[in-house]
Structure 1
Amino acid sequence: MSDYIRSYEHILLAVDLTEEANLVAAKAATIASNSGAKLSIIHVIEPLSFAYGGDVPMDLSNIQTQLEEHAHKRLESFAANMSVAPSNLVVATGHTESEIHRQAETLGCDLIVVGSHGRHGLALLLGSTANSVLHGAKCDVLAVRVGDEKTKS
């Protein structure tokens, strides 16, 4: 049975930098520590043009640059609490799922850790980031349940 248990070498933690990200980060850090794996962290910003359907009557590049700079600072602060080196941090711009997949492949990660709100019914059918990451990943994916989901007795 012990041959079946897998030890990870490089874990990619995908965070949205909300408070819930701390729960997901704690799980990823524990797994990395227990398996001696390298831990990298990614935060993805969707381009402002996505919100406006690409048909924007003004140049948003300066605002987008400011958003990216702010995200870098927040991610560095977040990672400092976990002792993750700045060289292992990625702020990407694009579709969240695609960027997570791309970085996982580029970095040679064998596990992606993401947060999941455990949606059911219509919310699940509409999709979630965790679900999209799972279905397109070429490595293992761990979805850590977060949010206001209460335990039912």
Structure 2
Amino acid sequence: MSGIVLVGVDGSVTARRAADSAKNLATALGAELRVITAFEGAHVEVVESGGDKWILSDADEAEKVASKVAAELASDQLTTSYGAVFGKAGEALVKEAERVGAKVIVVGNRRMQGLARVLGSVANTVAHKAPCDVYIAKTDEP
């Protein structure tokens, strides 16, 4: 199988566990691994110091998180890419899967129990709206 395995990360330990599962799956399938981070804010800040000017945004910070994880997961056997996607995590994963034609979305099982299971979670959102297969990785335990 070629194609894209998609995973979302947010800097948490459980998201990293899902990313590790996505790496293993993508490597086994001969697929590309695409790592994204969702962001909801449209905050932009301009910072000036002397003659230098920097524009910082929520999108930039999200992309840094995704870039770092993608770089850590890359190997000779695995091509990785990364990006930042506007929206809530579950919706952003679905939107990106549609955009890139992902074959599989990997999500963690965090918040799949108790009250959060009823109110919704990233995994529930993705499972109900995904345009492709969904793999739910066990991330609530090491």
Q: Give the TM-score normalised by structure 2.
A: 0.79
1:90 and 2:83 correspond = yes
1:74 match: 65
1:124 and 2:107 correspond = no
- Name the amino acid aligned to 2:4: H
Q: Give the TM-score normalised by structure 1.
A: 0.74
CA contact (8 A) 2:10 2:65 kept: no
Unaligned ranges ≥5, structure 2: 47-55
Cα distance change of structure 1 residues 94 and 118 upon mapping to structure 2, 3 Å threshold = closer
CA distance in 2, matches of 1:98, 1:74: 18
Shift of residue 85, structure 1, vs aligned partner: 6.1
1:3-152 correspondence runs (5 A): 7=1, 9-47=3-41, 60-62=43-45, 65-83=56-74, 88-117=81-110, 119-147=112-140
Shift of residue 45, structure 1, vs aligned partner: 0.9
Shift of residue 25, structure 1, vs aligned partner: 1.3
- Name the amino acid aligned to 1:79: A
CA distance in 1, matches of 2:65, 2:118: 32
Count of equivalent residues: 131
Shift of residue 118, structure 1, vs aligned partner: 5.0
CA distance in 1, matches of 2:16, 2:116: 24
Shift of residue 134, structure 1, vs aligned partner: 0.6
Root-mean-square deviation (Å): 2.5
Unaligned ranges ≥5, structure 1: 1-6, 49-59
The structure with more strand, counted as a fraction of residues: 2
CA distance in 1, matches of 2:12, 2:115: 24
Instruction: Describe the SS at the equivalent of 1:104.
Output: helix
CA distance in 2, matches of 1:119, 1:31: 21
CA contact (8 A) 1:79 1:85 kept: no
Shift of residue 110, structure 1, vs aligned partner: 1.0
- Name the amino acid aligned to 1:9: G
Residue identity over aligned pairs, in percent, reads 29
1:39-90 C-alpha deviation (Å, 9 max, x unpaired): 1111101126xxxxxxxxxxx4438x4322222222212211111767x211
